[in-house]
Amino acid sequence: RKEVEQDPGPFNVPEGATVAFNCTYSNSASQSFFWYRQDCRKEPKLLMSVYSSGNEDGRFTAQLNRASQYISLLIRDSKLSDSATYLCAVPNAGNMLTFGGGTRLMVKP
């Protein structure tokens, strides 16, 4: 089992839709988690950090399920500009991040 796994997608959704991605992780001792957004041929940019049960920032909500070892990212009222790849990342004790393969989101008009 990979340390961090994501459904690669693509998720094709219409504007205004709500979409959710999951990310499973194997290390039950992990305490913090990150969601990054990556546009095509650009660097990943930090979207949200999750240190407890969840986090919310505007249209974006991240939730943590420790029992099942997954984190989710919910995007409400999708915009065309949300089209990107979303990467989840889990740090080890030395803060080295292990990334999932990313989930590609395409928001259509």
Partner 1 sequence: DTGVSQDPRHKITKRGQNVTFRCDPISEHNRLYWYRQTLGQGPEFLTYFQNEAQLEKSRLLSDRFSAERPKGSFSTLEIQRTEQGDSAMYLCASSPSNYGYTFGSGTRLTVV
CB 40 to partner 1: min, Å:
10
Site size with partner 1, rule: CB under 8 A: 25
Is 95 a binder of partner 1 (CB under 8 A)?
A: yes
Beta carbon nearer to partner 1, 17 or 97: 97
Is 98 a binder of partner 1 (CB under 8 A)?
A: yes
Report how far residue 96's alpha carbon sits from residue 94's, in angstroms, rounded to the nearest whole number.
5
Residues 14-43 that bind partner 1 (CB under 8 A): 32, 34, 36, 41-43
